[in-house]
Structures are given as structure tokens and as C-alpha cells.
Amino acid sequence: RCPRPALPVLRWLPRYSRAWLPLDLLAGLAVGLTTVPQALAYAELAGLPLQYGLYSSFMGCFVYCFLGTAKDLTLGPTAIMSLLVSSYAFHEPVYAVLLAFLSGCIQLAMGLLHLGFLLDFISCPVIKGFTSAASITISFNQIKNILGLQGIPRQFFLQVYETLRRIGETRAGDAVLGLTCLAVLAGLRAMKSHLPQAAPAESLAVRISYLIVWISATARNALVVLFAGLVAYSFQVMGSQPFRLTGSIPRGLPAFRPPRFSLAAPNGTVPFLSVVQDMGVGLAVVPLMGLLETIAIAKAFASQNGYRIDPDQELLALGIANVLGSFVSSYPITGSFGRTAVNAQSGVCTPAGGLVTGALVLLSLAYLTSLFYYIPKAALAAVIISAVVPMFDAGIFRTLWRVKRLDLVPLCVTFLLCFWEVQYGIVAGVLVSGILLLYSIARPPMKVSEGAVLLVQPGSSLHFPAVEHLRDSVCSRALAASPPRSVILDCCHISSIDYTVVVGLAELLQELRRHGLSLAFCGLKDPVLQVLLSADLEGFQHFPSCEEAEQCGGAELGGSGAEPFTGTAEST
């Protein structure tokens, strides 16, 4: 067999079919019409000039075409990543671009070192708590633009207070336009979800009607922004302007240059180390959340469409996209669920659809930025709210209550603390999940059966935090019995042990021998048996099965002077 090409593009390009080309073109165009208005809206959410949203939207498309392994996935700015950038870049473009570079380097290193398994320690309740809280905070963050308010602070609780206090200052034009855009977006979303598939046997008129409705629903963000811009332009021509507009956006493509590693300030220069210190925990949160979003989305769509992805290759693709993106003034990007869904529903066949999306963004930067002046901020706010509302999963609370109530603890901790600061919520949720995980390791379930001997069966592998619990449980039950009984330790669920466990088992053997009792092992797997034999434990006895151990238990296991077993047991 021929070796698999190292470069993912070489796995599909040599067998590219002409039949795939129109589908890839259509999907790339549909995603591009979604990307451009969302890019402007997400830059507003990140607290950056709007052109940075477009700067962040094309490099990921080009890089992923060559290095990605999921045909549906699209990389670019997202609501979650924009919220994090707002928290750690302090609305300063230099910080945002440098954060993209450093995040890309971290992601690239993780891919090269195969460290993607670290993402497995972020549990589903933590992710759900974060995304649900982010949905609320991002939505409320845009209420000020829907109402036309200015000077609202960034912190969530202050936002709520100031918005409610100043609600009387609402601009009627912005409020009416924003609510109208929200209603139209919700209607088009519902229309698309209930749109029946047009059968090939239908008449041409029916199929054309279906195509028109599908395109309108798919490109709903672009249509709403275009409609709002035309309304705003009409008012401008008539000499009045009831809306707050986006304003001027620099025309042209960004210069290709490395990110700046220092920041010019009025009283001097902020050096690189100070910038890194300012970013703080963001240098861990941003790359990890970027990886988490990308891998989760890629796995979801790969499973749905029947193909497999390479997680380490996905890390490399995202890392390289962020590093190269920082050279064109991009802020951190990641996988976008909404645009990936559009890509998949459009019938994309290969990652080549990203080339069309990237080209459309570049054309917008080169020729259309003057038209973006008339886009009302209320319309962009409606686009953001429409994108993030589905992220709130109210059903997860009911599901966890029914499945495992203890998982509600990290969910609620993450959810509540994210309203204070995003990083505190994520870190606290991971810590709580870690504590629950460590507790289950330190206190494995023990099944105890009483008979002629005491049969103890740990429910999982033994690691050093659990050895004291095992000793206390065995000794207390064995000595409390009347008369005291010897012990058989059923190790059928134990696949590995460490040195601390070996020391604890040696002490347990000695303690039982002092009381005239014995301890035997049964069901040991080969790796565990080899470790115990190498430790040369005094009085160590092993039976292949618990039945044989119980048969020998009454006669030979009970006394301290038992003869060594042969054939059915091993002793040292």
C-alpha cells in the first residue's frame, strides 16, 4: 500500500472530481456571505476596529484548505473567541494580534508534542456552563447597541445596572431597527429549519422557489445587514440619521508583517514581558478554548458525515492559521459552529470551499469597505445575538439532574463565575471537575462479601491516593468480624498500580499477619502480578480465580503458618 501523504491536501486533491467543483463553489459563497457580516459584528464584540474582523477571516480559510482534515470545518472569528479577546486584549489591536501569534505558537507546540489529550480534562459540564454563560453575557453586551446607548461598562453586572438605569435614553430608531432585524433573523432561521427538501421530480418552478428560499435563509445575515444599510443610507440621503452607524473602515488589504512585540504608550514603550504579564491567564485560556472549539466541531461533523479527522493535525492547522494570521493583523481564530453548519448543509465536498470564502473576504476588503460605513450598529448587534442565543442550553440542567447530579456542581460553578470574569469561571470549573475526578480515584467503590473469608473487590484501578482508604476498609471489616477473618483481594478490575500502592499492600499484609490473619490476591492481571512479584512482598499469595481462593481459604488461608501454595497459587 502507498504511504498516506503527510500533507492533508494531497489526500484529496489528486482525486478531485469535476462534479465536486460547483458544490464547493456554492458552499464557499454561502459561507462567505455569512462570514463578512459576522466578521464586522465579532470585531465590535471584541472591542476592536471593525476591519480587524475581516483581517481575521481569510487566512484561516486558506491555511485550512491545505492542512485541515475535516471537509466541513471553517476557521475564523467566533463569538466565544471575540469575548475572550475582549477580556485579554483590552480593546487594543496590538495586544489582540500578539495574542493570536502567541496562541498559535502554543497550539502548534501542542500539536507537535501530541498534547491534545489535555483537552480531555475539560469536562462537558464545564464547557456547557461556559458557553451558556457566554451566550447570556454576549447577548446582553449587545443590548446597548440595540438600544443605541453609549458609555456602558464591560463588566456584566455593571452592564446590567447601567443599562437598566439609562433605559430611558433609548434611541427609538436603533431600537426599532434592532428588534426588526432580530425578528427577521429568527424568522429566516425557523424557515430554514422547517424547509422540506425539494424532490427531483418536482417542477422547475418549485425547485427554483426552494433554491431562493434556501439561499435567503442561509445568507440571512448578509441580507439583514444589506437591508439595514439601505435603510440607513436612505435616511442619510434625506438629511437625517436616526441610527448609530459603523463609520469609516480603512480600505485595502492588511500589510503582511510580523506582529509588534511592544506597545507605544504616551509615557514610553510597554515591553514584551509587560504585555505578556497583562495577558496573564489568557495565554492559557485562549489557545485551549480555541483548540476545544475546533476539535469538538470537527469531531461532531466528521461523525455526522461518516469520515474521520486527525486531532493532532487539526491542532497544527489551527496553530499555523493563528501564527500566519497574526502577520495580517488577525486576532485569535477558531472553528465556527454556525459557518461550519452552513458549509455542511451547502454540500461542500472538500476543504477547497474555504478558498472561495477567503477570496470573498479579500474582495470585500479591497472594494466594499466604503459601503460598510452605512451599516447600523443595531443590525450588527442583531447578527451577534442571533448567532449566540442557540448556544444557551437550558436542557443541560435537567439532563444532569436526571443522569448525574454531582456534575451540576462544576456546571453551576462555571456558569455563575463566568458572569464575574470568564477566566475565573473556566479555571474554577476545571478545578472543581478535577477535584471530583481525584475524589473518585482516592475513594474507589469497594464490594465486600463475607463468608469463610472476607472477599474485597475494588471497583477500579488502585492509585496512591486510594491506598489508605483500602487499608482502612480491609482492616476495619476483617478485624470487626466475629471471629476475625482472613482477606481475599479480588483484583479483576485493577489494571495498574504504582509504588505507593505496593508499599501500602506490604503494610496491610504485615498488619493482618500481626493479628494472625492472611491476605491473598486473586484475578491479578499480568502487569500487576509482575509488579507485585518484583516487589518481593513477604507472605504474598496469588490465586488465578476467586473460587480457588475461597476453596483454599478455610483450610489454608486462615492461619499464619499456612504452607506455600503450588499450582493454583504463587507465594513469595
pLDDT computed for residue 413 by the predictor: 93
Q: In the predicted model, what is the mean pLDDT of residues 460-470?
A: 86
412 lies in some domain = no
pLDDT computed for residue 274 by the predictor: 92
Of 106 and 137, more confident: 106
475 lies in some domain = yes
Q: Determine which of 161-165, 227-231, 422-426 has the lowest per-residue pLDDT on average.
A: 422-426
pLDDT computed for residue 176 by the predictor: 94
pLDDT band of 570, cuts 50, 70, 90: very low
pLDDT computed for residue 198 by the predictor: 65
What does the buried/exposed string (b/e) look like for 284-299 if buried means 16 or more CB atoms within 10 Å of the residue's CB? ebbbbbbbbbbbbbbb
Structure confidence by residue, pLDDT tens digits, 101-127: 999 999 999 989 888 777 778 788 888
Q: Determine which of 239-243, 301-305, 337-341 has the lowest per-residue pLDDT on average.
A: 301-305
pLDDT computed for residue 353 by the predictor: 92
| Claim to verify: residue 182 and residue 71 sit in the same structural domain | yes
562 lies in some domain = no
Asked if residue 35 lies in contact with residue 361, where contact means CB atoms within 8 angstroms, the answer is yes
Q: In the predicted model, what is the mean pLDDT of residues 303-326?
A: 88
User: Is pLDDT at 165 greater than 80 in this prediction?
Assistant: yes
| Claim to verify: residue 385 and residue 455 sit in the same structural domain | no
Total domain count, the chain: 2
| Claim to verify: residue 158 and residue 268 sit in the same structural domain | yes
| 3 contact partners, CB below 8 Å, separation of at least 6 | none
| Claim to verify: residue 483 and residue 383 sit in the same structural domain | no
Name the residue with cell 440607513. Answer: 232
The DSSP H or E segment spanning 454 is strand 454-458
**3-state SS class at 313:** helix
| Claim to verify: residue 63 and residue 185 sit in the same structural domain | yes
| Claim to verify: residue 42 and residue 130 sit in the same structural domain | yes
User: Is pLDDT at 560 greater than 70 in this prediction?
Assistant: no
Closest CA to 177 of 265, 111, 244, 77: 244
pLDDT computed for residue 191 by the predictor: 84
Q: Identify the sign of the CA torsion 78, 83, 87, 90.
A: positive
| Claim to verify: residue 352 and residue 499 sit in the same structural domain | no
The DSSP H or E segment spanning 334 is strand 334-335
User: Is pLDDT at 84 greater than 80 in this prediction?
Assistant: yes
pLDDT computed for residue 567 by the predictor: 30
| Claim to verify: residue 237 and residue 305 sit in the same structural domain | yes
Q: Name beta bridge partners: 542.
A: 521, 570
User: Is pLDDT at 226 greater than 60 in this prediction?
Assistant: yes
pLDDT computed for residue 550 by the predictor: 63
Specify the DSSP class assigned to residue 376: B
Burial of 446 (0-12, 13-18, 19+ CB in 10 A): middle
User: Is pLDDT at 156 greater than 90 in this prediction?
Assistant: no
The DSSP H or E segment spanning 522 is strand 519-522
pLDDT computed for residue 566 by the predictor: 29
117 lies in some domain = yes
Residue that terminates a domain, selected from 391, 420, 455 = 391
Helices marked H in 251-394: 272-279, 282-305, 311-326, 337-345, 353-363, 377-388
Average pLDDT, the chain: 86
d(CA 371, CA 155): 32
Q: Check which CATH number belongs to the domain holding 481 and give it.
A: 3.30.750.24
466 lies in some domain = yes
pLDDT computed for residue 93 by the predictor: 94
pLDDT band of 263, cuts 50, 70, 90: confident
User: Is pLDDT at 2 greater than 60 in this prediction?
Assistant: no
User: Is pLDDT at 354 greater than 90 in this prediction?
Assistant: yes
46 lies in some domain = yes
pLDDT computed for residue 126 by the predictor: 87
Name the residue with cell 453609549. Answer: 150
d(CA 60, CA 68): 10
Q: In the predicted model, what is the mean pLDDT of residues 7-35?
A: 89
pLDDT band of 258, cuts 50, 70, 90: very high
Q: Which of 48-52, 386-390, 391-395 has the highest mean pLDDT?
A: 48-52
Asked if residue 360 lies in contact with residue 32, where contact means CB atoms within 8 angstroms, the answer is yes
Share of the chain above pLDDT 70, in %: 94
pLDDT computed for residue 184 by the predictor: 92
pLDDT computed for residue 3 by the predictor: 57
pLDDT band of 557, cuts 50, 70, 90: low
Residue that terminates a domain, selected from 391, 411, 430 = 391
| 139 contact partners, CB below 8 Å, separation of at least 6 | 384, 385, 388, 389
pLDDT computed for residue 95 by the predictor: 94
pLDDT band of 571, cuts 50, 70, 90: very low
pTM above 0.85, yes or no: no
pLDDT computed for residue 4 by the predictor: 61
* DSSP codes of every residue in 224-274: HHHHHHHHHHHHHHTT---S-B------SPPP--PPPSSEEETTEEE-HHH
Q: In the predicted model, what is the mean pLDDT of residues 175-201?
A: 84
| Claim to verify: residue 487 and residue 385 sit in the same structural domain | no
Tell me the HSE value of 473 on the side-chain side, using a 13 A CA sphere: 20
Taking each helix axis from N to C end, the angle separating 79-88 and 20-46, rounded to the nearest 10 degrees, works out to 30
pLDDT computed for residue 569 by the predictor: 36
The DSSP H or E segment spanning 571 is strand 570-571
Q: Determine which of 266-270, 367-371, 439-443 has the lowest per-residue pLDDT on average.
A: 266-270
**3-state SS class at 485:** coil
Q: Which three cell numbers stand for residue 466?
A: 486510594
482 lies in some domain = yes
| 472 contact partners, CB below 8 Å, separation of at least 6 | none
| Claim to verify: residue 459 and residue 386 sit in the same structural domain | no
Structure confidence by residue, pLDDT tens digits, 266-304: 777 889 999 999 998 899 999 988 988 888 888 878 877
271 lies in some domain = yes
* DSSP codes of every residue in 114-143: T-GGGGGGS-HHHHHHHHHHHHHHHHHHTH
pLDDT computed for residue 515 by the predictor: 86
Q: In the predicted model, what is the mean pLDDT of residues 471-476?
A: 87
pLDDT computed for residue 552 by the predictor: 62
Domain that holds residue 70: 28-391
What does the buried/exposed string (b/e) look like for 104-126 if buried means 16 or more CB atoms within 10 Å of the residue's CB? bbbbbebbeeeebeebeebbebb
Q: In the predicted model, what is the mean pLDDT of residues 84-108?
A: 94
pLDDT computed for residue 357 by the predictor: 94
The DSSP H or E segment spanning 447 is strand 446-450
| Claim to verify: residue 370 and residue 504 sit in the same structural domain | no
pLDDT computed for residue 57 by the predictor: 95
Structure confidence by residue, pLDDT tens digits, 27-61: 898 888 889 999 998 998 899 999 999 999 999 99
| Claim to verify: residue 366 and residue 473 sit in the same structural domain | no
User: Is pLDDT at 209 greater than 70 in this prediction?
Assistant: yes
User: Is pLDDT at 5 greater than 70 in this prediction?
Assistant: no
